[in-house]
A = this chain, B = another copy of it.
Amino acid sequence: MTTPPLPSVPSDLTPEERDRFLLGLAVEQARIGWEEGGVPIGAALVDGDRVLAVGRNRRVQMASAIRHGETDCIEQAGRLPASVYRRSVLYTTLSPCLMCAGTALLYDIPRIVVGENRSFQVSEELLRSRGVQVDVLDDPDCLALMERMLAERPELWLEDIGEES
A residues near B, CB below 8 A?
A: 59, 63-66, 71, 74-75, 77-83, 85, 97-103, 105-108, 123, 126, 158-159, 161-165
Contacts and interface: CB of A to CB of B under 8 A. Distances in A.
Given A65-B74, A82-B158, A102-B123, 16 more contacts: A63-B79, A64-B79, A66-B71, A81-B164, A82-B159, A82-B162, A98-B103, A98-B106, A99-B99, A99-B103, A99-B106, A100-B102, A101-B102, A102-B105, A106-B161, A106-B162
A102 B98 contact: yes
A165 B94 CA distance: 33
Count identical subunits in the complex: 2
Contacts of A162: 82, 85, 106-108
Contact of A97 (B78, B79, B81, B106): B106
Contact of A64 (B64, B75, B159): B75
Contact of A77 (B65, B71, B158, B165): B65
Contacts of A159: 79, 81-82
A78 B65 contact: yes
Given A85-B162, A99-B106, A102-B101, A65 B59 contact: no
Contacts of A100: 102
Nearest to A70: B66
Contacts of A97: 102, 106
Contacts of A77: 65
